[in-house]
Amino acid sequence: MAQSTTHTLPPPFNSSSTTPKPPLITQGAEALLYKTTYLTPSTPIALKHRPKKSYRHPTLDTRLTKARILAEARVLVKCKREGVVVPAVLGADWEEGWLACEWIEGKTIRAALDGYLKRDVGEEADLRGEGVRGLMGRIGVVLAKLHGIGVVHGDLTTSNLMVRQLEREGDGLESLSLGENREKGLEGEVVIIDFGLATQSVQDEDRAVDLYVLERAFGSTHPQAEGLFEEVLRVYGESYKGAKVVLRRLEDVRLRGRKKSMIG
Ligand SMILES: Nc1ncnc2c1ncn2[C@@H]1O[C@H](COP(=O)(O)OP(=O)(O)O)[C@@H](O)[C@H]1O
Ligand SMILES: [Mg+2]
């Protein structure tokens, strides 16, 4: 977890001096992500702050920030309305540059796969295991739903997909064996986050590129598990009308990607 003291939160999140500064979760190129609370002290939120960029002209900067926050909030609201699992939008202020969303208790797919794949010496990750294949299938379903409502994410990575961990009473992980414990980390609802680059589109090309970006992300963050992505695509292909055409288009996108990497 990146911790920093140099960043200041936007109002009203900067007001109370008695409580400790909320943790900075990540610092992207454009935005800072904090975990804090909003409206009630027991409502945890993900606060995305887009601080003013001094290298940009102030008028342009204000316009860009407003457009991005509104675009992200609108896509999130549309997804929620149409049944795609995303964090709820709780508030936004484009003048101050922030967007507040429901905090998802869980981990990124990246962290979940890391935890599953990082075995102790001598132990092999079972890539055909039901837990991990189930998780891949749920990713396929959620992506199909997203594309099915006419939204393309634009930045699908294993850090922009989360698994919501269900907290159950007496779920003593300590009492489980190592294998079972790992399987547990794969359970839970898949939630799509980070709609900063999302667009509305029903084009096969845009959908195929969306999948290709995630396929590449899988390959680079979890090279041992590249084969797992096939399961994402298999389930995606069966989850909405038009998905099969997108998968055929994906083959073209891959070919172009390969040619490009041979030239460049
Ligand atoms: N609603 C949320 N609940 C829990 N964690 C979140 C939430 N939104 C973001 N995060 C965490 O913060 C990271 C960065 O957030 P993200 O929206 O992807 O911003 P960026 O545009 O900087 O990538 C995510 O990868 C995730 O780990
Ligand atoms: Mg992100």
With a 6 Å cutoff on the Cβ, whether 24 touches ligand 1 is no
107 C-alpha to ligand 1 centroid (Å) = 10
Q: Which residues pair with 201 in a beta bridge?
A: none
- Over range 177-206, report the average pLDDT: 89
pLDDT tens track for 75-123: 999 999 999 999 999 999 999 999 999 999 999 999 999 988 876 545 6
Q: Pairing state of beta strands 89-93 and 98-102?
A: antiparallel
**pLDDT at residue 214 above 60?**
yes
Question: What is residue 74's predicted lDDT score, i.e. its pLDDT?
Answer: 98
Question: What is residue 184's predicted lDDT score, i.e. its pLDDT?
Answer: 76
- pLDDT category of residue 258 using cuts at 50, 70 and 90: confident
pLDDT tens track for 13-49: 988 655 678 999 999 888 999 999 999 999 999 999 9
Which position among 155, 171, 206, 210 bears the catalytic label? 155
Question: Is there a catalytic annotation at residue 61?
Answer: no
With a 6 Å cutoff on the Cβ, whether 159 touches ligand 1 is yes
Name 70's Cβ contacts closer than 8 Å, sequence gap at least 6. Answer: 92, 94
Which residues have CB less than 5 Å away from ligand 2 (the ion)? 160, 194
103 C-alpha to ligand 2 centroid (Å) = 14
Q: How far is CA 8 from CA 13, 93, 96, 169, 219, in A?
A: 9, 16, 12, 37, 36
With a 6 Å cutoff on the Cβ, whether 27 touches ligand 1 is no
Residue nearest to atom 7 of ligand 1 (CA): 46
pLDDT tens track for 137-183: 999 999 999 999 999 999 999 999 999 997 765 555 566 676 676 77
Cα distance between residue 261 and residue 263, in whole Å: 5
With a 6 Å cutoff on the Cβ, whether 161 touches ligand 1 is no
For residues 155 and 185, the model is more confident at 155
CA atoms within 13 A on the CB side of 4: 13
Q: Please report the domains of the chain, with CATH numbers, ordered by start residue.
A: 24-102 (3.30.200.20), 106-263 (1.10.510.10)
Q: Which of 30, 50, 27, 62 is nearest to 98 (CA)?
A: 50
State the Cα angle at 151 between 80 and 255, rounded to 5°. 145
**pLDDT at residue 4 above 50?**
no
160 C-alpha to ligand 2 centroid (Å) = 5
Cα distance between residue 131 and residue 126, in whole Å: 10
Question: What is residue 264's predicted lDDT score, i.e. its pLDDT?
Answer: 64
Ligand 1 atom nearest residue 105's Cα: 4
Q: Which of 3, 7, 25, 189 to mutate to test the pocket of ligand 1 (most atoms within 8 A of CB)?
A: 25
